[in-house]
């Protein structure tokens, strides 16, 4: 009798511990047999599409990364340095350029995450692991959206810098045209 009470108590404690462990759903959508069959039947097409997208994204990333770096390093930094050396207040331009450079660093990280998630999806056998394949494609899609969001923010930052340069030109029109600061 005493042994059964101890067992019952242990069972109850273990049951409460298991019940209190948080569960995180990967997807709100329940994977049906029909959905799994659909993934398997379109497996080769899906893998080919992923490969094409991945192959097209690689040179785009390289080109954008080089462009973003060149704009920040060769244009913004050079202009900001020259203005500061000539004793102009370029603090707003420096602030925007700093934020832009932070975004470029984020772009590189987010793209690496996207590339890793695409590679993981492409390396998953959709015939043997259709649910895992689906989840990895969904993760790659989310990662690609984050890349897009950073690109939008970079574009906005470039526009902000351009407006700040135009405002700087208006405010310093006389000094810039004569080359003499009052």
Q: Among residues 38, 15, 19, 35, which one has the least CA distance to residue 27?
A: 35
Q: Which residue has the higher pLDDT, 45 or 173?
A: 45
pLDDT digits (tens, 9 = 90+) for 52-73: 999 999 999 999 999 999 999 9
Q: What is the pTM of this model?
A: 0.76
Cβ proximity of 31 and 131 under 8 Å? yes
Lookup: tokens for 15? 């049951």
pLDDT digits (tens, 9 = 90+) for 31-42: 899 999 999 999
């Amino acid at each position: 009798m005493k042994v059964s009470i101890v067992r019952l108590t242990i069972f109850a404690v273990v049951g409460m511990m298991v019940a209190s462990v948080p569960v995180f759903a990967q997807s709100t959508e329940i994977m049906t047999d029909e959905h799994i069959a659909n993934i398997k039947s379109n497996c080769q097409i899906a893998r080919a599409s992923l490969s094409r997208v991945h192959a097209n994204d690689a040179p785009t990333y390289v080109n954008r990364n080089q462009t973003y770096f060149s704009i920040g390093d060769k244009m913004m930094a050079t202009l900001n340095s020259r203005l500061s050396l000539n004793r102009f207040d370029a603090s707003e331009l420096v602030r925007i350029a700093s934020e832009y450079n932070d975004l470029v660093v984020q772009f590189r990280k987010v793209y690496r995450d996207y590339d890793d998630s695409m590679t993981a999806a492409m390396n998953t056998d959709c015939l043997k692991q259709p649910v895992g394949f689906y989840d990895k494609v969904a993760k790659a899609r989310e990662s690609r959206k984050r890349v897009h969001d950073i690109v939008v923010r970079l574009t906005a930052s470039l526009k902000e810098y351009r407006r700040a340069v135009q405002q700087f030109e208006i405010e310093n029109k006389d000094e810039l045209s004569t080359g003499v600061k009052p």
